[in-house]
Structure 1
């Protein structure tokens, strides 16, 4: 069956996306923007201090930071291979992170943001794989950053601190040993501006702006090369698409709690708002009452969230003695992504906040990021309609085999199983994500590669073989569960072995990779004749068990 683009969705051709303009130039160029720079307020405001910079201050800081950073890193030539100018970013959300990324772009480099939950070994892998020559870090991640930088061969003089209100370093670490962002600004003020390189036609589609790490459809994390034009395309796509059903008479005030290292945030709570002239209120971490207080203090109108945030909102709101504590009178729109939102939770949110437009979207790092988004007529459970335009990324950095597997014959293989269903009223084609062919586990929107955890578990002396699968979780969507074959000489009971293996993962891996789904012991792990783990069989067995338990509970 063929599904056609709804008549109300505007067309967008390849020629409509500029490919000779760097990303930061595009963002602040009034020829492209729907609202002139001089009419815009502060792009980013800190939720704790209320501080921020104007558009003109932001642009000036980009210039100073770029000059200061180039000087400190010993970069004397900003032409040539961009992969010689890769800089890492390992920080909680703050108003500086986007400006630092654009400063790296200004010196014709690539920014590689890392998950702030990473352990040192995980961060070191990304720094080594990307070839990063410098690293920005916020205080709470300093110990991890110092250890990872040492493993990756990055000198301490190339690590720079980002002061963040309320974010502090561990007591045993002295942040004063490092230069910070303001030192770079001060240095840049005393230096001549960096020369501007003239971009040729097509350079924006060839040159990476971000190197974002994703497990793709399977395997360990790989660097996704996100070009300047990829992000520009998604900015234009979302702006054009939403203009068909949203009247934006004034700028939005947007919640910035999504991790700024994640592609969801990089596009929708960083670049799209700046382009439109909105304000993003950054929050270093999610804590429910601080979240509600910040929304009401800054009178936020648009919230980009993930399902666990909505679950907390509904559950805690239902338990509150004063239900008005959870009122959000200024909020007009809620947009949920990173993991599917159930029809049941959608119904609960809509009942609690009847005047709020609640929608979903679908995307992935490899598509930078939005593939589909909700229209005006929301269809509960769907991820909306496919938006027009080209935004598929360049492939995986230094990994031709994985690139061929995922980016094949002009198509991006998502690894997701979807259904296209017609909206009962409008008859528009909506996308429903119903299953995942790929092996990844989605924990609160973060990707967990089973192969990574399996490799770590196999390093434990009592593990002979293992497999890792997802199991459902009310709060996180999915969590990892380990299926383990113990060595015959392990000589340990299952209860003790389970705790030891959980601790083994917790000591070395980020929190979202912990074995919250438990550990089950098997006589053998089912495999194909070629030796491939039959995870689909294990997942189906787990689903059957869950279904049986639900049926028994109803009896």
Structure 2
């Protein structure tokens, strides 16, 4: 059975989606936008100093910055190979990153955003795999960028700084010797713009705009090739889906706290918002009280967030003497993604903010957004309905399609937003992209809405081995490989354990080496420190370490993670029963 968008949602056919223009041209095309550029407010403003550029100034800065980057890298036209023009962005949220991304597209390049939590070794892996030409970073992350760039042969002259008001931690290197993004804008302002080359029909379907790293259904991070048309399609899908709710000159003031390197932010707070004529208030770093003050100051109406932020709102809001400090009178909608909301948290949010419409969404790097709650019918616990132009199948363990409601199966998706595959990895692409369908690795089931009967998706399990920590993917194989390089570890497995704040966190199950020479407590401390020293924060073993005599494996040597996960769930159930 194939599930599609509800009958009340506007339809979207393949021919409706342009494929003859780059993403940045589509965004500012007055013939396609719901509102003309001249009628729209400033698209991005900084939460600290209120700075930002109008749409008209933004378009100029795109051209200037593209010319400045091209001049520095020796690019003289826009007809070269896009894979020779990969640009890495490794910086905290800021108002310049969207303009920088569109400037890279203007010079016929590919944007490779990197998680700002990366350590140097993790950034170096991505730089090497993507063959990045240069890096844009902020002062507080310059030291990591320099170390990573040096290890893969990127000269320091190709590291550029983005000035950010929130950058108060102090530089980790001599920033005076590095060109600033504004220097490149000024250079581009004084030289002829790059020549514009008309795109032939079909080019936007096959040319990558972003290379975003994901572990897919298993294994180490892989570059997902996201075409210009993939993002254009997802913008149109979200816009059409919410069209019945947005009338006339309706505009939102949106919280921009989601990491700009994550697909959730790339789609919803970088591109959809600009196309629809909204304003995004960009917040560089999460600090709850500062965030609440910014929401109130800028009278934000829409919050795109993740469950840990909602948990913090409820828990810390309950501790203050004056609970009105956490009131959000301007907020009309809260949209949560990256991890499912628990029933308990949903109830608490509704009680605390009864005037707010709370919804969820579902997607992945390989597909962008495929499901979303709609203001007309939110079904608590669900990820919403299928977006226009998409088809969804649920496939059971025997490879058969699930027929009807309340039956679970792996989520397979097909549509114009499904990405091109993995960069330089045919085997992984073949395993995940099957005959035009994307295999998500997540298990879901559709349930009819109690009043309307519309199909809503509920995420119930996961086929893939990935651990989802606050929306970030952690591949067990990556951590296992790192753990095995420690002298105390003879064998190991990494599994997810439930965590109220992060959804899941990694836990290591370890077989100590025979000559370890220390007790379990000392070994655990050393292993935890070993991971913390070399891996970014969301990969830390927050679930702790268990010691066993043997890791359960299949005859072929594959780790039986489900056995370990089931054992952990049983152990946690016993603990809860005693409380």
Q: Same fold (TM over 0.5)?
A: yes
Residue ranges of structure 1 left out of the alignment (5+ in a row): none
Alpha-carbon distance in 2 for matches of 1:172, 1:407: 42
Asked if structure 1 preserves the Cα contact closer than 8 Å seen for 2:445 and 2:458, the reply is yes
The residue that corresponds to 1:461 in the other structure is 487
Displacement of 1:347 in angstroms is 1.0
Alpha-carbon distance in 1 for matches of 2:119, 2:248: 42
The residue that corresponds to 1:173 in the other structure is 173
1:496-527: CA deviation from partner (whole Å, max 9, x where unpaired): 00010000000000000000000000101101
The SS at the match of 2:359 is: strand
The residue that corresponds to 1:188 in the other structure is 188
1:459-498: CA deviation from partner (whole Å, max 9, x where unpaired): 0011100000000011111000000001101111000000
Alpha-carbon distance in 2 for matches of 1:28, 1:171: 36
Displacement of 1:343 in angstroms is 1.4
Displacement of 1:5 in angstroms is 4.0
> Do residues 161 (structure 1) and 151 (structure 2) align?
no
The SS at the match of 1:366 is: coil
The residue that corresponds to 1:80 in the other structure is 80
Displacement of 1:177 in angstroms is 1.1
Displacement of 1:41 in angstroms is 1.4
Displacement of 1:75 in angstroms is 1.5
2:548 aligned to 510, 514, 522, which one? 522
Asked if structure 1 preserves the Cα contact closer than 8 Å seen for 2:506 and 2:539, the reply is yes
1:37-66: CA deviation from partner (whole Å, max 9, x where unpaired): 000111100000100000011000000000
Displacement of 1:247 in angstroms is 3.8
The residue that corresponds to 2:353 in the other structure is 353
The residue that corresponds to 1:507 in the other structure is 533
Alpha-carbon distance in 1 for matches of 2:431, 2:29: 37
The residue that corresponds to 2:58 in the other structure is 58
Map 1:30-45; keep pairs closer than 5 Å: 30-45=30-45
Asked if structure 1 preserves the Cα contact closer than 8 Å seen for 2:508 and 2:544, the reply is yes
> Do residues 431 (structure 1) and 431 (structure 2) align?
no
Alpha-carbon distance in 2 for matches of 1:77, 1:464: 54
Asked if structure 1 preserves the Cα contact closer than 8 Å seen for 2:362 and 2:383, the reply is yes
Displacement of 1:140 in angstroms is 1.0
Displacement of 1:71 in angstroms is 0.7
Change (3 A) 1:2 1:154: closer
Asked if structure 1 preserves the Cα contact closer than 8 Å seen for 2:421 and 2:433, the reply is yes
Alpha-carbon distance in 2 for matches of 1:286, 1:108: 33
The residue that corresponds to 1:495 in the other structure is 521
Displacement of 1:552 in angstroms is 2.5
Deviates more, 1:7-16 or 1:95-104: 7-16
Displacement of 1:303 in angstroms is 0.3
Asked if structure 2 preserves the Cα contact closer than 8 Å seen for 1:142 and 1:169, the reply is no
Displacement of 1:80 in angstroms is 3.1
Alpha-carbon distance in 2 for matches of 1:252, 1:290: 20
Alpha-carbon distance in 2 for matches of 1:358, 1:249: 23
Asked if structure 1 preserves the Cα contact closer than 8 Å seen for 2:256 and 2:283, the reply is yes
Map 1:40-439; keep pairs closer than 5 Å: 40-168=40-168, 170=170, 172-247=172-247, 249-367=249-367, 369-375=368-374, 376-389=376-389, 390-439=416-465
1:254-286: CA deviation from partner (whole Å, max 9, x where unpaired): 000000000000000000000011110001111
Asked if structure 2 preserves the Cα contact closer than 8 Å seen for 1:143 and 1:170, the reply is no
Asked if structure 2 preserves the Cα contact closer than 8 Å seen for 1:141 and 1:169, the reply is no
Alpha-carbon distance in 2 for matches of 1:403, 1:326: 46
Asked if structure 2 preserves the Cα contact closer than 8 Å seen for 1:139 and 1:161, the reply is yes
1:64-102: CA deviation from partner (whole Å, max 9, x where unpaired): 000000011122232131101110000000000000000
Residue ranges of structure 2 left out of the alignment (5+ in a row): 390-415
Change (3 A) 1:248 1:344: farther
The SS at the match of 2:50 is: coil
Displacement of 1:423 in angstroms is 1.0
The residue that corresponds to 1:21 in the other structure is 21
Count of aligned residue pairs for this structure pair: 552
Change (3 A) 1:490 1:203: same
Relative to the length of structure 2, the TM-score reads 0.94
Asked if structure 1 preserves the Cα contact closer than 8 Å seen for 2:105 and 2:209, the reply is yes
Deviates more, 1:240-249 or 1:315-324: 240-249
The SS at the match of 1:362 is: strand
Asked if structure 1 preserves the Cα contact closer than 8 Å seen for 2:4 and 2:388, the reply is no
The residue that corresponds to 1:450 in the other structure is 476
Relative to the length of structure 1, the TM-score reads 0.98
Displacement of 1:356 in angstroms is 0.7
> Do residues 10 (structure 1) and 15 (structure 2) align?
no
Displacement of 1:388 in angstroms is 1.7
Displacement of 1:198 in angstroms is 1.2
Asked if structure 2 preserves the Cα contact closer than 8 Å seen for 1:110 and 1:209, the reply is yes
1:313-358: CA deviation from partner (whole Å, max 9, x where unpaired): 0111112211100000000000000000111111110111111110
